Structure 1
């Protein structure tokens, strides 16, 4: 086991699962866990072949066909939680009790390229050949879906979300995001790294365990391609100046501002942006990471205070691509939710699903006012 010291007193412990997948334990600065960790002694089947991507010739988008994901576990009880620490009755994915744990997904949408790199994983048949290869458009183009998908366990508890963490644990997760961003960005063929959290059954979450994921793509995602097509260096400075002068700001610190964007698509949509340009988590300063933990928890507390029951959301941390556009794209959170009332959800209609032409029902200024009131009712973490 390789042991590393990270920022904020977090300790990283690198090891492997029984089938060769990477597992990293991240210990809180005030952890009470022992130094030794259990070895994964399971007898696991060989890893599946890496999935296949096919290109949509009408848009140039790459679609991954990860057919092995059809059989994922759906909302198991605590006694069969695959993200809980292993017990004799539950041979889960994490051998030891942990604070935060990150491991390679067993059935990923993006998988390894080389068998030698991950033990029992089959080698990719037709991997991508760089950004130029991914940008070419043609009928019948396909590639092996090379990349990396990781699961980020925020806590050993069976239920919860990032918003239920303590500030210390939230700070550990932020350090893990930064550490994994650096490591994944250095892998051959990775062009963009995307940490995110899906929360709530309305979003399609299959596990109640508090966790997120990190996807590492072999291309620059369509959303980021659009940003780079019209963006220039300094874009996010201009956005911040515009939004900070509006009534759409919901929360502000010394290093971060949260706001409902001027042209919000979703009934609940809020962006959290650092004041200084940072392309990704790895470029954040210690002070920016320290402030982010309690600020983000307070924002999530406000999201849950909007209604009498927790709100389902997708919280995606957009980062600049690994090799292009790093002076234009800035790390920032985009949190979205389809919830437009106590018992109402926004479903994508024909104009949105068919043409990507959006129609919104709630003015961003009104949404921001409600969220500000909700945040003000939440005690500081």
Structure 2
């Protein structure tokens, strides 16, 4: 059984899939993403695979109608982005610049393909890292969900940025970037991208990546922008891994504009949500966060930004970075 169920209290769609409970948890002695297996074959550098345990499928059956609650077909695509043939890499900072560029180029290409699919309303490209996050396979990989609806958080960002643009004539994200530039929460920048811990961070070491140019989709990035995005991603991952001198578990989400409609007021961006607040101390999304979706911040953002700045210096040196860290 696979279907979408609508929550009338929050305006959210919940993806329901019975097949998800069958997915393996860290199988020993076998990795389905390594070269030479049935799904992967040989001779590749980055790979897009169908998720064997998907929430969404373009052939999903039509659910039965009737009753008070709304249901819908779980139409869409769930894919795995295998970022490298190398199994034992820990994170994006251990990819070479060219390998990271290939991943970013795949993101751009699949965005272009799915943007032309009339059944896709929104594309979520994301990455989970670490056992604490619940990653079931350790081979470096990300995921994408091509959704038939606009998720609530993305919808709120669209609505708020639209309202701000109508009031001020200015992109809300460009204004956030202007506020952060030159400030104490700025972590790293290269020619085309800026990395910072935002004023309104929810997670202790939360980091955002903004393009300096006002674009809505990856398909609009050109020239050196893709390589600079790859550089910013490598430095960000390396900074998070250096700040506590251990591998940082995190979730990463890439936010683009929805596919249906015009969104000149929106701005492409990436957000990292690291799970640790200190060594051995997890930032749990507990009562107030889970129940009300309102976060408490454990610490002071500017103090954590200073820690990230120091870590960035080490990470950028290891990555032979294209830009500069802030001190």
Pairwise same-fold verdict (TM > 0.5): yes
Q: Which has the larger radius of gyration?
A: 1
| Residue 11 (structure 2) pairs with residue 65 (structure 1) | no
CA distance in 2, matches of 1:325, 1:347: 37
Cα deviation 1:40-90 (Å, max 9, x = unaligned): xxxxxxxxx6x211111111110011110111121123x41011122xxxx
| Residue 34 (structure 2) pairs with residue 84 (structure 1) | yes
Cα deviation 1:105-130 (Å, max 9, x = unaligned): 122111114xxxxxxxxx53259xxx
Task: State whether residues 25 and 137 of structure 2, in contact with CA within 8 Å, keep that contact through their aligned partners in structure 1.
Answer: yes
CA distance in 2, matches of 1:207, 1:163: 19
The equivalent of 1:200 in structure 2 is 130
Cα deviation 1:323-348 (Å, max 9, x = unaligned): 13521222111001120111000112
Q: Structure 1 residues 324, 368: closer, same or farther in 2, change over 3 A?
A: farther
The equivalent of 2:323 in structure 1 is none
Cα deviation 1:272-325 (Å, max 9, x = unaligned): 000111111111112111212223212211111112320001111111100135
CA drift at 1:245: 3.6
CA drift at 1:97: 3.7
The equivalent of 2:295 in structure 1 is 358
Q: Structure 1 residues 66, 276: closer, same or farther in 2, change over 3 A?
A: same
CA distance in 2, matches of 1:58, 1:340: 32
The equivalent of 2:114 in structure 1 is 184
The correspondence for 2:250, drawn from 300, 313, 337, is 313
| Residue 259 (structure 2) pairs with residue 299 (structure 1) | no
CA distance in 2, matches of 1:324, 1:248: 34
The correspondence for 1:248, drawn from 155, 173, 185, is 185
The equivalent of 2:105 in structure 1 is 175
* Alignment root-mean-square deviation, CA: 1.7
Show the 5 A alignment for 1:17-56: 51-56=2-7
Task: State whether residues 81 and 92 of structure 1, in contact with CA within 8 Å, keep that contact through their aligned partners in structure 2.
Answer: no
CA drift at 1:139: 3.5
Cα deviation 1:146-203 (Å, max 9, x = unaligned): 0111110011122323222100100111110000011111123101111111011111
5+ long unaligned stretches in structure 1 = 1-48, 114-122, 128-137
The correspondence for 2:46, drawn from 100, 118, 121, is 100
The equivalent of 1:213 in structure 2 is 143
Cα deviation 1:189-235 (Å, max 9, x = unaligned): 10111111101111110000000001111011101111122213411
CA distance in 2, matches of 1:82, 1:202: 21
Helix, strand or coil at the partner of 2:272: strand
- Normalized against structure 1, the TM-score is what? 0.77
Task: State whether residues 195 and 209 of structure 2, in contact with CA within 8 Å, keep that contact through their aligned partners in structure 1.
Answer: yes
- Normalized against structure 2, the TM-score is what? 0.90
Task: State whether residues 275 and 282 of structure 2, in contact with CA within 8 Å, keep that contact through their aligned partners in structure 1.
Answer: yes
5+ long unaligned stretches in structure 2 = 166-170, 321-327
CA distance in 2, matches of 1:341, 1:151: 30
Cα deviation 1:356-380 (Å, max 9, x = unaligned): 1221112211111100100112213
Task: State whether residues 104 and 149 of structure 1, in contact with CA within 8 Å, keep that contact through their aligned partners in structure 2.
Answer: yes
| Residue 75 (structure 2) pairs with residue 146 (structure 1) | yes
Superposed structure 1 runs of 4+ greater than 3 Å apart = none
Helix, strand or coil at the partner of 1:333: strand
